[in-house]
Amino acid sequence: MEKRTFLTKKRKSMNNLKKHPSSFRDPSGFVFEYEGKLYRQVNKHYADDYDLLLSSGLYDELLKGGKLIAHQALQQNLTGSNDWYVTLLPEQIQFISYPYEWCFDQLKDAALLTLDILQISLKHGMVLKDATPFNVQFVNGKPIFIDTLSFEKYNDAEPWVAYRQFIECFIVPLVLSSYKSTDFIRQLQLNPDGLPTSFAAKLLPFKSRFRLSLFLHIFLPSNISTRKKNASSARHTSFSKQKMLNIVDDLQSLIRTLKPRRLYSVWNNYYEETILSNDYLQAKSILVTKWLNELQGNIAIDIGTNTGAFAVDASRRYKNVIAVDTDELCIDELYKKCKTGRRENILPLWVDITNPTPAIGWANVERAGFISRLNADLVMALAVIHHLVIGSNIRMKQVVDIFKHITNLLLIEFVPEEDPKVAEMLERRADIFDEYNQQHFETSFSEEFNILKKEVIKSSSRVIYLMQKK
């Protein structure tokens, strides 16, 4: 009877366990969800390297520097796997973002963090076997490495096994963003394993060949990859630690000099030039701050954040704020503010809410879509509704549907049809928006939300609403 009870409990435990869909490629271990928390199993295959990570002092140094996520080791085989060695309970991250949702400086900082970790690892006799930006997340305004199983014992007879991955996942997107456009960061959504050096070599200007770092890390590998190689003539050459460190130094120097190439942005000077008036902005700020001071929670989302003025207000009352905008320059400016420590609990992301990040990868579940990752206590959609309905032809009912799935509270601004900005938008297109009016707005949202508060913003005809999902 006791044995049957034990087996029943074990079966129930397994039923509550869900293996993470993005964690299946590494034989060293995997991530799984159990009772609402994410765990990582270390397999016997990785036992020696895991023990070295701890005994060498590498884990402690990375932890002290805030470079690697902390974990608690548990001697519980939660999965029941025969390959189990130890279970890790890592520090839980509130929101997972992906590299193709980052601005230039976020990807740049993630690259520098990866190289910094590699340098420190070499001091402790270890090396990174993986160098993908998917191993990095942003917590408290800074990048942090999350894959505890990416470290292995260093072999001074071999080159860095993750060199090519680093070049294609970090260097190529950053270099193309510097010489061409930051839109190349978005290419990581289509090519999560990185952009080939041959792809970059065709797009970069001829003069870039004379830059030694680019020649060594992009043009030379591109030429080698296109040649036919005779396997029988290949010779084994040693690869010293000093050579490795020289490469890391060169990559760091290259990355630090890169700056994004951008065209003029209308939105990054929105508060200075394109608002209705300073009186409107001040009145809106006072009203939003007043209402936010009556709220609090875990996660707030600011849609159409611009450079984050209202995200900063929300960050004083909510533990985590996800600030999204379709303008990469705005997100980059906000990120720079956040990482200086002014508002560390804001996560700026380069996301277009009208075309949010889709699910990608194996079986379309390996990397979750942006909307499916959202579960907010509060959504702020200030001066956004006219861009959705008029600018993108999204029906009011569809706007309601997306908000009801991602939030409990909604702080939203309605911009009426007589507003100068709406009139300006309609000058460039036919007015086919008969349903765009305040009455239809309130009727549509009232089907799913209760209107708790409503107030006209002084010096404008715009109206702020605080709503709660029914």
Q: Are residues 55 and 119 in the same domain?
A: no
Residues 83 and 141 both lie in one domain: no
Q: Is the pLDDT of residue 293 over 70?
A: yes
How far apart are the C-alpha atoms of 150 and 131, rounded to whole Å? 8
The predicted-structure confidence for 310-323, as pLDDT tens digits, reads as follows 999 999 999 999 99
| Judgement on whether residues 160 and 139 belong to the same structural domain of the protein | yes
List pLDDT tens digits, range 100-131.
999 999 999 999 999 999 999 999 999 999 99
Mean pLDDT of 429-457: 92
User: Does residue 267 lie in a domain region?
Assistant: no
Mean pLDDT, residues 225-234 taken together: 46
Per-residue pLDDT band for 438 (boundaries 50, 70, 90) equals very high
Q: What is the pLDDT of residue 335?
A: 95
- CA–CA gap between residue 435 and residue 451 (Å, rounded): 20
Question: Does 243 reside within a domain?
Answer: yes
Separation CA 121–CA 287 (nearest Å): 51
Say yes or no to pLDDT of 444 above 70: yes
**pLDDT recorded at residue 425:** 85
Residues 218 and 281 in one domain: no
How far is 182 from 108, CA to CA, in rounded Å? 12
**Distance (Å, whole) CA 205 – CA 262:** 17
Q: Which two tokens stand for residue 449?
A: 């939300």
Nearest Cα residue to 130 out of 88, 168, 165 = 165
| Residues 459 and 337 both lie in one domain | yes
Question: Does a structural domain hold residue 265?
Answer: no
84 shares its domain with 105: no
In a domain, 266, yes or no: no
Do residue 106 and residue 187 come from a single domain?
Answer: yes
Tokens (6 digits) for 468: 């709660």
Residue 421 and residue 417: Cα distance in Å, rounded?
Answer: 9
pLDDT band at 227 (very low <50, low <70, confident <90, very high): low
Q: What is the pLDDT of residue 266?
A: 52
Is 371 a domain residue?
Answer: yes
Q: What is the pTM of this model?
A: 0.91
**Does 86 share its domain with 110?**
no
Of 6-15, 179-188, 277-286, 339-348, the one with minimum mean pLDDT is: 6-15
Last residue of a domain, one of 62, 90, 118: 90
User: What's the pLDDT tens digit per position in 39-53?
Assistant: 999 999 999 999 999
The count of domains in the chain is: 3
pLDDT score for 221: 86
Residue 72: which domain range? 14-90
Give the model confidence (pLDDT) of 70-84 as tens digits: 999 999 999 999 999
Same domain, 58 and 106: no
For residue 355, is pLDDT > 90?
yes
pLDDT digit string, tens, across residues 257-275: 999 986 555 555 554 444 5
Whole-Å CA distances, 328 to 197, 317, 321, 351, 405:
24, 26, 18, 9, 26
pLDDT for the residue 134: 97
pLDDT computed for residue 435 by the predictor: 87
Is residue 455, in this structure, part of any structural domain at all? yes
Compute the mean pLDDT over every residue in the chain, rounded to the nearest whole number: 90
Q: Do 289 and 411 share a domain, yes or no?
A: yes
Pick the last residue of a domain from 90, 113, 135.
Answer: 90
Statement to judge: residues 245 and 169 lie in one domain: yes
Task: Among 63, 90, 117, give the residue marking a domain's end.
Answer: 90
Output the domain CATH number for residue 411.
3.40.50.150
Confidence of residue 434 (pLDDT cuts 50, 70, 90): confident
Q: Is residue 392 part of a domain?
A: yes
Distance between CA 158 and CA 148 in Å, rounded? 22
On the CB side of 145, CA atoms within 13 Å amount to 26
Same domain, residue pair 53 and 182 = no
* Residue 412 domain flag: yes
